[in-house]
Amino acid sequence: MSLTLHIAVQHEDFDPAFEAVRLTEGRPGVGALVQFTGFCRDEGGRLSALELEHYPGMAEAELQRIAEDAVGRFSLIGLSVIHRYGKIMPGERIVLVSATAPHRQAAFDGANYVMDFLKTAAPFWKKEHNADGSHGAWVAAKDEDDSARDKWVRE
Amino acid sequence: MSVKLVYFAWVREKIGKGEEEIDLPAEVTTVGELLAYLKTLGEEYDEALKFPEAIRVALNQEHAHYSEKIAGVREIGIFPPMTGG
């Protein structure tokens, strides 16, 4: 059974249900599907939008590298990673990771691994748009994202 | 050596452009030396690259350490730590 690997960097929204079908239809070896969806928050009403900038070409290449690592490490049957760019409003989806495996632990771990590396290594940057119209700031990288990534190295 | 530099996020904003083609002096051979050289090009470069711990570099669209050689590289990306997801 061949591996299903899907990587996309796009402005348009995506459909988690469609990705679930892509990874499971005609795949009787799949015993588990885990999906993670990341959304744009309004931070308690403070934000009107996030602007997602990306490095065209490298964003796709880096997601592909992360995805291939995850497939190998957790023996995934399928993996789909979709990341949006451009202006995204609170409540809208930003990122979707879908992972399939024979059993649940590999699917959970695979999706988790992809998100931890995506946060720290995929070339995307968020700029805030403030609801009150004031000048928005670039989101700062978080130390806990580095720690989350590093746990995979220690194991 | 002529190379294409591409900038993103606040590095792009501070330098004031998204990309440029520049000629590098022969003594600039590593990522670290490139960043040091760029800082001499003007106040905006110095300001953008002031904190090396906040600057990430990619050679031909792959993450690179400051000690890596840049000989033969076509495109160098310079940007802050990533905040996607």
Q: All domains of chain A, ordered by start, with CATH?
A: 4-154 (3.90.1170.40)
Q: Which residues of B touch A53 (CB under 8 A)?
A: 8-9
- pTM: predicted TM-score of the whole model, two decimal places: 0.95
Q: Which residue of A has its CA nearest to B77?
A: A55
β B2-7/B19-23 pair status: antiparallel
Q: Where along chain B do its domains lie?
A: 2-79
Q: Which residue of A has its CA nearest to B13?
A: A138
pLDDT given at position A1: 54
State how far the Cα of B84 lies from the Cα of A122, in Å rounded to an integer: 7
State whether residue A84 sits within 8 Å of chain B by CB.
no
Query: Pick from B6, B9, B63: which is nearest to A125 by CB?
Result: B9
- The fold of the B2-79 domain, in CATH, is Ubiquitin-like (UB roll) (3.10.20)
pLDDT given at position A3: 81
State whether residue A137 sits within 8 Å of chain B by CB.
no
- Reported as a single tens digit per residue, the pLDDT across B41-85 is 999 999 999 998 899 999 999 999 999 999 999 999 999 999 999
State whether residue A119 sits within 8 Å of chain B by CB.
yes
Query: Block means of pLDDT (10 residues each) for chain A, length 155 residues?
Result: 88 98 96 98 96 98 98 97 98 98 98 97 98 93 91 78
